[in-house]
Amino acid sequence: MTRIVYVNGAYKRYEEAAVHVEDRGFQFADAIYEVIEVLDGRLVDATRHLARLARSLRELRIPAPMSDAALMLIIDQVIRRNRVRYGIVYMQVTRGAGPRDFALPPAGTPPTLVVLARSQRKGWSAVLAETGIGVKTIPENRWGRCDIKTVMLLPAVLAKDEARENGAKEAWFVDAQGNVTEGASSNAWIVTADGTLVTHPLDPQILPGVTRATVMDAAKLEGLKIEERAFSKAEALRSREAFVTSATNIVMPVVTIDGVPVGDGKPGPLAHRLRLRFHHVAEISAG
């Protein structure tokens, strides 16, 4: 449950927390966000998440609302005030409010900052990982800068709904070349017959997942081979394992693609190993 939300300098009760009706996040999706996992009251990979937040802001030329140190203090307060031990912190920065106009607002318009935290059942994703998930492929229909974590998430929302209608938990976007770019809210991976991990290279087609980066660190420490290259749905169906990564799911095995089993149709051993290693390799903030 979320009790308290930080909005533009004040801690508000959840029911009363609000932004301006002419906020540019609301009108133009002129906003970026981050989601950080909270593990036993501590932040997982905060440095990487804040670095990506700063990069998203720079790419859109939205001024940073405050220093990383100040933001960390607010995040800490929001976690405490909501008594979150296991869950997530969500933060969003918009270009601020003003009379609706495509032109950017005058310099000095303060960005909007919202920080909220929410508890989740401890270990829920571990339970889901025991059976794995299905994914549904969807033609890529997002914009050309998926490397920026904007709140422009309508294609992802619709893709996930189509996945749900087809009994799948996640959607995989497939580009015009027939390659899987990433999930609607996760990065996509396969494990080839010889045990090599394959995931799409970092480019404007995908979000540079923080979990992707930390899973890569874990895989290197485990002595696994990694190839950053595109793969097709056909290759994914021929692979030994598939999985997705995100701050909320960590490493989640994919057991079917469009209803067809991957490998033996069960969660794979490498996904399991990387999942178990993840929090030993990730940066865990001092609590």
Q: Distances in Å between the alpha carbon of 22 and those of 86, 95, 97, 99, 142?
A: 34, 11, 5, 6, 25
Q: Of 116, 88, 157, 87, whose CA–CA distance to 18 is shortest?
A: 116
Backbone angles phi, psi at 82, to 5 degrees: -100, 5
Is residue 137 part of the contact set for ligand PMP (CB under 6 A)? no
The stretch among 1-9, 83-91, 99-107, 245-253 that binds ligand PMP (CB under 6 A) is 245-253
Cβ atoms of 88 and 38 closer than 8 Å: yes
Of 2, 199, 205, 245, the residue at the interface with ligand PMP (CB under 6 A) is: 245
Q: How far is the CB of 141 from ligand PMP (least distance, A)?
A: 13
Q: How far is the CB of 247 from ligand PMP (least distance, A)?
A: 3
* Minimum CB distance to ligand PMP smaller for 207 or for 255: 207
Q: How far is the CB of 108 from ligand PMP (least distance, A)?
A: 30
Tell me the pairing of strands 170-174 and 133-139. parallel
> In the annotation, is 136 catalytic?
no
Q: Which residue is nearest to ligand PMP (CB)?
A: 211
Q: How many CB atoms lie within 10 A of CB 280?
A: 9
Q: What single-letter amino acid sits at 238?
A: R
Of 211, 239, 256, 285, the residue at the interface with ligand PMP (CB under 6 A) is: 211
Is residue 150 part of the contact set for ligand PMP (CB under 6 A)? no
Is residue 75 part of the contact set for ligand PMP (CB under 6 A)? no
Q: How far is the CB of 24 from ligand PMP (least distance, A)?
A: 20
Identified catalytic residue from 12, 136, 149, 225:
149
Question: How far is the C-alpha of 246 from the C-alpha of 274, rounded, in Å?
Answer: 13
The stretch among 58-66, 78-86, 179-187, 195-203 that binds ligand PMP (CB under 6 A) is 179-187
Cβ atoms of 34 and 49 closer than 8 Å: yes
Q: Distances in Å between the alpha carbon of 283 and those of 14, 37, 38, 75?
A: 29, 11, 12, 16
Give the DSSP letter string of 196-265. -EEEPPSSTTS---HHHHHHHHHHHHTT--EEE--EEHHHHHHSSEEEEEETTTEEEEEEEETTEESTTS
Task: Specify which residues 37 forms β-bridges with.
Answer: 88
Question: How far is the C-alpha of 207 from the C-alpha of 181, rounded, in Å?
Answer: 10
The stretch among 2-10, 57-65, 71-79, 202-210 that binds ligand PMP (CB under 6 A) is 202-210
Q: How far is the CB of 208 from ligand PMP (least distance, A)?
A: 8
Is residue 207 part of the contact set for ligand PMP (CB under 6 A)? yes
Of 159, 247, 255, 270, the residue at the interface with ligand PMP (CB under 6 A) is: 247
Is residue 182 part of the contact set for ligand PMP (CB under 6 A)? yes
What are the residue numbers of the active site? 149
Residues within the interface to ligand PMP (CB under 6 A): 35, 182, 185-187, 207, 209-212, 245-247
